[in-house]
C-alpha cells in the first residue's frame, strides 16, 4: 500500500508547472522594411522524486530533483508581406535538488527559479540572437527580390 502511495506522489510531482513569464521585442532592419519580432517566453519547471522515506530510526534519502526549461514563442511581421511564427526551446536552463518531497518543495523551487531570473533572461536573449538569421531568411523568401 505504501509503495502505491509513493508511486502516486512521484507521478503527480513529475508534472510540469509554469514558474516565470518573459517578454522581449526586437526590430530588425531589412530591405522590405523593419521586421518587428515579439518574443514571449515561459519557464516550465519539471520535478522528479528520487529516494525513499526512511523507516523509524533510519535516515530518509528523499530528494526532489528539478530542472527548468525555457520555451519561447516568436511572432515576426514585415508589413503585410510576412507574418511568421516559431517556437524555440532550451532545456535545462537551470536545475537543482532539494531534500524531501517534491510537493512540499514546490514553493521553494519556484523562489529559486525566480531568484535566478537573470540566467533565464540571458538564455532567452541567446535564443533571440540565434533566431535573427532565421527571421532574415524568412523575410527574404516572403518578399522576392529583397536580399537584406
Q: Each residue of 61-91: pLDDT tens digit?
A: 899 999 999 999 999 998 776 788 999 999 9
Confidence of residue 57 (pLDDT cuts 50, 70, 90): confident
* Residue given cell 524531501 in the structure block: 100
pLDDT at position 33, please?
A: 85
Q: Please name the residues in contact with 122: beta carbons below 8 A apart, sequence gap of 6 or more.
A: none
Q: Please name the residues in contact with 8: beta carbons below 8 A apart, sequence gap of 6 or more.
A: none
Q: Read off the pTM.
A: 0.74
How much of the chain, in percent, has pLDDT values that exceed 90? 59
Confidence of residue 143 (pLDDT cuts 50, 70, 90): low
Any idea how long the chain is? 148
Amino acid at each position: 500500500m505504501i509503495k502505491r502511495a509513493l508511486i502516486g506522489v512521484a507521478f503527480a510531482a513529475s508534472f510540469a508547472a509554469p514558474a516565470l513569464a518573459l517578454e522581449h521585442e526586437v526590430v530588425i532592419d531589412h530591405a522590405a522594411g523593419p521586421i518587428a519580432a515579439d518574443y514571449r517566453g515561459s519557464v516550465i519547471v519539471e520535478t522528479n522524486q528520487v529516494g525513499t522515506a526512511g523507516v523509524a530510526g533510519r535516515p530518509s534519502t528523499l530528494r526532489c530533483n528539478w530542472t527548468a526549461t525555457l520555451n519561447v514563442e516568436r511572432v515576426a511581421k514585415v508589413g503585410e508581406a510576412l507574418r511568421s511564427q516559431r517556437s524555440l526551446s532550451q532545456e535545462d536552463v537551470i536545475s537543482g535538488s532539494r531534500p524531501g518531497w517534491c510537493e512540499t518543495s514546490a514553493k521553494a523551487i519556484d523562489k529559486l527559479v525566480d531568484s535566478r531570473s537573470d540566467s533565464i533572461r540571458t538564455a532567452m536573449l541567446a535564443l533571440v540572437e540565434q533566431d535573427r538569421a532565421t527571421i532574415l531568411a524568412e523575410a527574404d523568401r516572403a518578399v522576392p527580390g529583397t536580399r537584406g
